[in-house]
């Protein structure tokens, strides 16, 4: 009977150690799974941040190209406005001269007209 009791105790001890080993292994697996999940979360956050920074850099680049284009268009518009202003001024002066010539001609003052245009000194 004592041999049977000893066998039962050995079997019980063996089974208790096996159960404890399984519990320990299950706890380690749970911890490892949590660590892997944490690493995956950090990886996803880093990827999202890197993607956002890349998109921001690309958008800055594109915006700078459009800004450069807008500046070029603005410069062209200003040059056009200045040229139109000069043309308007030249046309206005031409109209004034034409009126003056017409006035001199109508007055019959050809000599004043020729002096005005620089033909006579």
How far is the C-alpha of 51 from the C-alpha of 49, rounded, in Å? 5
Query: Which residue is associated with the tokens 């268009």?
Result: 73
- Give the model confidence (pLDDT) of 43-61 as tens digits: 888 888 888 888 888 888 8
- Give the model confidence (pLDDT) of 84-119 as tens digits: 677 677 666 766 666 666 666 666 666 666 676 666
Q: Which residues of 27-41 are buried (b: 16+ CB within 10 A; e: fewer)?
A: eeeeeeeeeeeeeee
Query: Which residue is associated with the tokens 């680049």?
Result: 61
- Domain-by-domain residue ranges, the chain? 2-117
Instruction: Give the 3-state secondary structure of residue 118.
Output: coil
Which residue intervals of the chain are DSSP H helices? 2-107, 110-117
**Predicted TM-score (pTM) above 0.75:** no
């Amino acid at each position: 009977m004592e041999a049977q009791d000893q066998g039962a105790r050995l079997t019980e001890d063996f089974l208790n150690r096996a159960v404890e080993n399984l519990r320990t292994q299950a706890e380690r697996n749970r911890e490892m799974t949590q660590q892997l999940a944490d690493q995956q979360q950090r990886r996803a956050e880093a990827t999202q941040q890197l993607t956002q920074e890349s998109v921001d850099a690309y958008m800055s680049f594109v915006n700078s190209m459009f800004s450069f284009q807008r500046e070029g268009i603005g410069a062209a518009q200003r040059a056009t406005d200045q040229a139109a202003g000069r043309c308007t001024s030249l046309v206005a002066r031409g109209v004034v001269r034409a009126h003056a010539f017409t006035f001199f001609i109508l007055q019959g003052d050809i000599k004043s007209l020729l002096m005005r245009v620089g033909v006579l000194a």
